[in-house]
Chains A and B, each alone.
Chain A
Amino acid sequence: MEATNRNSSRDAIIASIRSHLSSSKILDAREHEIKHGAAPSEPVSYVPPITDTSALMDLFKQNLEAVNGRCLVVHGDADLVQTLGNVVSDLRDDTKSPSLRIAISDSPDIERLVRMVGLDVDEIGVTPSASDVFRFDVGVTCAQAGIAETGTLVLDSSRERHRLVSLVPPVHIAILNATQIVETLGEALSTLRLEKYVSPIVTLVTGPSRTADIELTLAIGVHGPQELIVILRA
């Protein structure tokens, strides 16, 4: 019974769309004539794409910092391990909390790095569940791509389980390889689409969570992470 009702509403809406569109046909033809003389679109100046990786890194960093994100550039695994260790111990000092719990994604790269760092933390949780994830202070994940023109991270759920780890803990640390940075949003979108299969959830992240809902005063960290630290591996 319910299913029938749903189908009948669907049919009614589609029928309504068709009948209203067809009654508009004569008017559309007239409108088309009027619009035909519309002004031509302005010429667009051609800017050659950036191909140099270090230029892309600079642009990414600059744009991420403009939206209150932090970007630390590292060279090689040893540097990365040390930087990650420093970031975590700074966080412990900042929060002055007696315990620090870190949640990590299921990326093998992250697990390996965290083991190498030998973090002095109270707990490391791998992809905690929705009911468990609220306990953690820091989330560490990789990112699948970066967009230089906006300082944006692309998180793709089909390649790494980081949906909750990147979202719920107050601090999100993301590791991004410089080779994964593209220049424009358009390039990033076409990569997502090229794979024919679009992942169940893809998230673009540009800086920490923010709001200006109270008297237009910017407040960082309302529901998502209050701090976003990108470790950029050159």
Chain B
Amino acid sequence: MNHVTSETFDQNARAALADAQLRGALRNATSLFGERRLAAARSLDNWEQLRSQAREIKDEVLLHLDKYLEEFVVKAESRGARFHWAQDASEANAIICSLAQERGARRIVKSKSMTTEETHLNTALENAGIKVVETDLGEYIIQLAEETPSHIIVPAIHKTKRQIAELFTQELGIPPTDDVAKLTSTARATLRDRFAEADIGISGVNFGIAETGTILILENEGNIRLTTSLPRVHIAVMGIEKVLPRFADLDIFLKLLPRSGTGQRLTTYQSFITGTKTNREAEGPEELHIVMLDNGRSRMLAHPITRQSLACIRCGACLNACPVYQQIGGHAYGSVYPGPIGAVITPQLMGLEKTQQLPYASSLCGACREVCPVKIDIPRLLLHLRSEITEKSSPAVRQARQRTGERIAFKLWQMTMTRVWLYKLSALVGRLFQGLVVKDGRIRKLTGPAKLVTPLTAWTSGRDLRPIERRSFREIWRSDLSNKN
């Protein structure tokens, strides 16, 4: 699964669909998280209002992102934080590698951060000869297995405890067990040594507060607290969209994020970090470096529809709600951001050339929009990206997307729908000839010469089609309904 890319989404999805174990795990996880989210949302009587408020705050920030970023930086710098700006992934990685090298750091502990997954920081550090250990239990498992996360919140959701036990036996030398508590305590014991010896701790950031220069990080395990408390240096990697105006805004976002992600009222720990420690004796790192990453984000500001993508707080609720994700899981998307939000973010971050299948990985059912705590209209974004692919993208992309048959079919469709006589005629012709393909009241998978009708073949390869009714609504109206007084 390591070399799966977004370019081969169709194949990836097909392979995932054939994996019964994966689908079982996904079914359990997505339904459990879905139920928990719903129960947690219902425990508040103003859930819808909170969603609207959160979105208004995000919209306000994004419309004045330059202003809020500057305020955030000034405040945090006045408290001792140091800032580094990275236009893309490689610049971010270079900054972090040189921070480590300048300090002679050999060992780094890291807590879960989607942003550093996005920049492939671990590979860059390893290439620079620096040992980096993931400390979130799920991420640690993934790192030992040399795989990639398949869910934003539970990265190792695709692995069974038996597979994890085998991995631990092989890599850590423990006797075989399928006791989750034992596996967890093994990871705890092993990672304690890594925390104790680390020179640098690297974390992500959930929210940055402009008013106070505070960064806030949420977690359940305690590894983020250890990562940001024990080593001498703390490096926090933050997407430029993560800033919020006021400290008080956290009341809203702390109600939405844990409930949407895991169904908790609050995660076990929230670390509010404002600059560095104030005197020599106080506990905690001596240096705090905040790396601000753009990597395609500022581009998304250019259109109100794409700008919404930057409101995302990475809760993972849309993954759990998505009928496509529920069947294929995260790896098929070939990107660190899977599911509906991944299908809109990945193409914008990486360009449409290599990701053009992703905006089509959706039935546009709207479940993602329903659950999104910041009301991102993901279906609208998907349609926007689809139209960009067909209208604006390079000729190569356009050609690959637009199959000749599809183009002709839509041309004919357009002609038919704009001419009454042609519409009536084709309905008549359809009714006359559909008998050739209708079986038991449905048009099923086509065989023989009928397969030449390309769009019909494509449609029926995965689902049945209802035949055209004997009489149209207008005909029924005219003969039966309109005369009844």
A and B: interacting chains: yes
Chain A residues with a Cβ under 8 A of chain B: 2, 6, 9-10, 12-14, 16-18, 20-21, 23-24, 27-28, 31, 41-42, 44-45, 63, 67, 127, 130-131, 134, 149-150, 152, 157-158, 161, 163-164, 167-168, 185-186, 189-190, 192-193, 198-217, 219, 221-225
Closest to A44 in B: B46
Q: Given A200-B273, A213-B155, are A127 and B283 neighbors across the interface (CB < 8 Å)?
A: yes
Among the listed B83, B138, B141, B268, which residue makes an inter-chain contact with A224, where contact means beta carbons less than 8 Å apart?
B268
Q: Given A157-B283, A185-B266, A223-B191, are A211 and B298 neighbors across the interface (CB < 8 Å)?
A: no
Q: Given A13-B85, A150-B265, A198-B272, are A223 and B154 neighbors across the interface (CB < 8 Å)?
A: no
Is A167's CB under 8 angstroms from B164's CB? no
C-alpha spacing A147/B86, complex, angstroms: 38
- Residue B269 at the A interface, CB < 8 A? yes
Q: Given A14-B69, A198-B274, are A222 and B188 neighbors across the interface (CB < 8 Å)?
A: yes
Is B196's CB under 8 angstroms from A131's CB? yes
C-alpha spacing A186/B276, complex, angstroms: 25
Is A209's CB under 8 angstroms from B220's CB? yes
Q: How far is the CB of A179 from chain B (nearest CB, A)?
A: 22
Q: How far is the CB of B137 from chain A (nearest CB, A)?
A: 4
> What are 5 contact pairs spanning A and B, CB under 8 A?
A150-B265, A161-B281, A198-B214, A200-B275, A203-B270
Q: How far is the CB of A71 from chain B (nearest CB, A)?
A: 16
Chain B residues lying within 8 Å of A31, measured Cβ to Cβ, are 304-305
C-alpha spacing A215/B160, complex, angstroms: 6
C-alpha spacing A104/B262, complex, angstroms: 33
Chain A residues lying within 8 Å of B154, measured Cβ to Cβ, are 212-213, 216
Closest to B213 in A: A198
C-alpha spacing A150/B270, complex, angstroms: 13
C-alpha spacing A9/B85, complex, angstroms: 6
- Residue B314 at the A interface, CB < 8 A? no
- Residue B144 at the A interface, CB < 8 A? no
Is A186's CB under 8 angstroms from B265's CB? no
Is B274's CB under 8 angstroms from A10's CB? no
- Residue B58 at the A interface, CB < 8 A? no
Task: Give B301-336 as 1s and 0s: 1 = Cβ < 8 Å from A's Cβ atoms.
Answer: 111110100000000000000000000000000000
Q: Given A16-B299, A193-B248, A214-B183, are A200 and B222 neighbors across the interface (CB < 8 Å)?
A: no
Q: How far is the CB of A27 from chain B (nearest CB, A)?
A: 5
Among the listed A161, A189, A211, which residue makes an inter-chain contact with B137, where contact means beta carbons less than 8 Å apart?
A211
Is A200's CB under 8 angstroms from B274's CB? yes
- Residue B180 at the A interface, CB < 8 A? yes
Q: Given A192-B247, A198-B247, are A163 and B87 neighbors across the interface (CB < 8 Å)?
A: no
Chain B residues lying within 8 Å of A27, measured Cβ to Cβ, are 303-304
C-alpha spacing A21/B301, complex, angstroms: 6
Chain A residues lying within 8 Å of B271, measured Cβ to Cβ, are 201-203
C-alpha spacing A164/B274, complex, angstroms: 17
B441-472 interface with A by 8 A CB criterion: none
Chain A residues lying within 8 Å of B220, measured Cβ to Cβ, are 209-211
C-alpha spacing A9/B251, complex, angstroms: 33
C-alpha spacing A233/B91, complex, angstroms: 52
Chain B residues lying within 8 Å of A212, measured Cβ to Cβ, are 154, 262
B190-227 interface with A by 8 A CB criterion: 191-192, 196, 212, 214, 220-223, 225-226
Q: Given A24-B307, A41-B48, A214-B164, are A189 and B250 neighbors across the interface (CB < 8 Å)?
A: yes
- Residue B135 at the A interface, CB < 8 A? yes
Chain B residues lying within 8 Å of A190, measured Cβ to Cβ, are 248
- Residue B278 at the A interface, CB < 8 A? yes
C-alpha spacing A161/B32, complex, angstroms: 39
- Residue B485 at the A interface, CB < 8 A? no
Q: How far is the CB of A85 from chain B (nearest CB, A)?
A: 27
Closest to A41 in B: B49
Is A189's CB under 8 angstroms from B138's CB? no
Chain A residues lying within 8 Å of B187, measured Cβ to Cβ, are 222
- Residue B2 at the A interface, CB < 8 A? no
Chain A residues lying within 8 Å of B272, measured Cβ to Cβ, are 192, 198-199, 201-204
Chain A residues lying within 8 Å of B251, measured Cβ to Cβ, are 185-186, 189
Is A185's CB under 8 angstroms from B255's CB? yes
Is B226's CB under 8 angstroms from A223's CB? yes
From B83, B221, B277, residue with most partner A Cβ within 10 Å: B221
Q: Given A192-B272, A203-B272, A208-B268, are A217 and B180 neighbors across the interface (CB < 8 Å)?
A: yes
Q: Given A17-B66, A134-B192, A201-B271, are A216 and B32 neighbors across the interface (CB < 8 Å)?
A: yes
Q: Given A215-B180, A222-B184, A223-B226, are A161 and B283 neighbors across the interface (CB < 8 Å)?
A: yes
Chain B residues lying within 8 Å of A10, measured Cβ to Cβ, are 83, 85, 292
Closest to B293 in A: A13
Is A164's CB under 8 angstroms from B196's CB? no
C-alpha spacing A189/B253, complex, angstroms: 12
Task: Give B55-79 as 1s and 0s: 1 = Cβ < 8 Å from A's Cβ atoms.
Answer: 0000000010110011000000001
Is B161's CB under 8 angstroms from A215's CB? yes
Is B137's CB under 8 angstroms from A213's CB? yes
Chain B residues lying within 8 Å of A41, measured Cβ to Cβ, are 48-49, 52
C-alpha spacing A23/B17, complex, angstroms: 42
From A14, A203, A213, residue with most partner B Cβ within 10 Å: A213
Among the listed B85, B269, B300, B307, which residue makes an inter-chain contact with A203, where contact means beta carbons less than 8 Å apart?
B269
Please give me the 3 A-B residue pairs with the lowest Cβ-Cβ distance, nearest first. Answer: A224-B222, A213-B138, A223-B222
C-alpha spacing A22/B29, complex, angstroms: 42
Is A213's CB under 8 angstroms from B87's CB? no
Task: Give B217-245 as 1s and 0s: 1 = Cβ < 8 Å from A's Cβ atoms.
Answer: 00011110110011000000000100000
Q: How far is the CB of B55 from chain A (nearest CB, A)?
A: 10
